[in-house]
Amino acid sequence: MPDAPSARALWVCDLGLVDYDEALGLQRAVARARITGEIPQDVLLLCEHPPVVTLGRSSKAGHLLLPAPALAARGIALREVERGGDVTLHAPGQLVGYPVVDLKRHRQDLHWYLRQIEQGLIDAMAALGLPCARRAGLTGVWVADRKLASIGVHARDWVTWHGFALNVSTDLSLFDVIVPCGIADVTMTSVTRELGASAPAGPAVTAAVVAGVAGTFGLAALPVARAALAAEAPALPRPGAP
């Protein structure tokens, strides 16, 4: 057991580059284990994905600009998922975070939860010297009128999964296959594009994001290996399983 159940911690599990289906299966299983109490702490799964477009519950057909075969020809997978929000894209160079948070320990309000995720990322970017903000009526994190991070979540029994995608050094041209988040004429940006030569390396960005997200929920971040999660909840899928 990584720590005592009475301590308010955020277990942080870095999966590295992992297939989207595998990560989705894992976060669903972690959420089930969080609901049952097998996993006694909130969890943040971090990863990168090979190129994949995901369609949330609010996706509009016109926001996907290429059909599935054309996407596949470019090496981009397509998935429909249960999260809120419209269409988005994941690709290498993007830090994807899946917080599995029991809101019964915090505040049973998904709008509050979204604002906390935004604030955690805003705080992280501020620590790296990149001022960011919210935009009224639009979920996500912005640098002026340019979108840096997208957020889409789902919850059951007040336990969340899905989460955020922060463009660190992502190939932004990949976003040309969609209308990102269903926002017409949006410009996507990245930490690297905004900070140029002064952009921090990936591990520094990850560390700042972990600190920001843990801090906004009043939790102590604790690194946890995937094997340690499986020790708490033996039903979790093994690496490589969808």
For 144-187, the pLDDT digits (tens) are 999 999 999 999 999 999 999 999 999 999 999 999 988 888 99
* Whole-number Å distance between alpha carbons of 145 and 194: 12
Residue 231 in 3-state DSSP? helix
Binned at pLDDT 50, 70 and 90, residue 28 comes out as very high
Q: Which residues are catalytic?
A: 181
Q: Is the pTM of this model over 0.85?
A: yes
Report domain extents, the chain: 9-232
Letter string b/e over residues 159-181, b meaning 16 or more CB atoms within 10 A of that residue's CB: bbbbbbbbbbbbebebbebbbbb
Q: Are 135 and 142 in contact (CB under 8 A)?
A: yes
By the 8 A CB rule, do 230 and 19 touch? Answer: no
Beta bridge partners of 146: 143, 187
Helical axes 202-216 vs 110-127, angle rounded to 10° = 140
pLDDT of residue 181: 87
- What mean pLDDT comes out for the span 19-30? 96
pLDDT of residue 6: 47
For 71, half-sphere exposure in the C-beta direction (CA atoms, 13 angstrom radius) is 20
Question: Once rounded to an integer, what is the mean pLDDT over residues 23-31?
Answer: 96
Confidence of residue 140 (pLDDT cuts 50, 70, 90): very high
Spatial distance between the Cα atoms of 237 and 242, rounded to a whole number of angstroms: 8
Q: Cβ(87)–Cβ(63) under 8 Å?
A: yes
Q: Distance between CA 219 and CA 240 in Å, rounded?
A: 30
pLDDT number for residue 61 = 86
| Mean pLDDT score across all residues of the chain | 94
Which of 12, 16, 208, 19 is CA-nearest to residue 100?
Answer: 12
Looking at the DSSP assignment, which residues form a beta bridge with residue 42? 10
* DSSP-assigned letter for residue 1: -
User: What CATH homologous superfamily does 9-232 map to?
Assistant: Bira Bifunctional Protein; Domain 2 (3.30.930.10)
User: How many C-alpha atoms does 42 have within 13 Å on its Cβ side?
Assistant: 28
- pLDDT given at position 7: 72
Q: From CA 83, how far away is CA 201, in angstroms rounded? A: 30
Q: What is the mean pLDDT of residues 22-43?
A: 96
Q: pLDDT tens-digit profile of 190-241? A: 999 999 999 999 999 999 999 999 999 999 999 999 999 989 988 899 887 7
Residue 3 has pLDDT above 80, yes or no: no
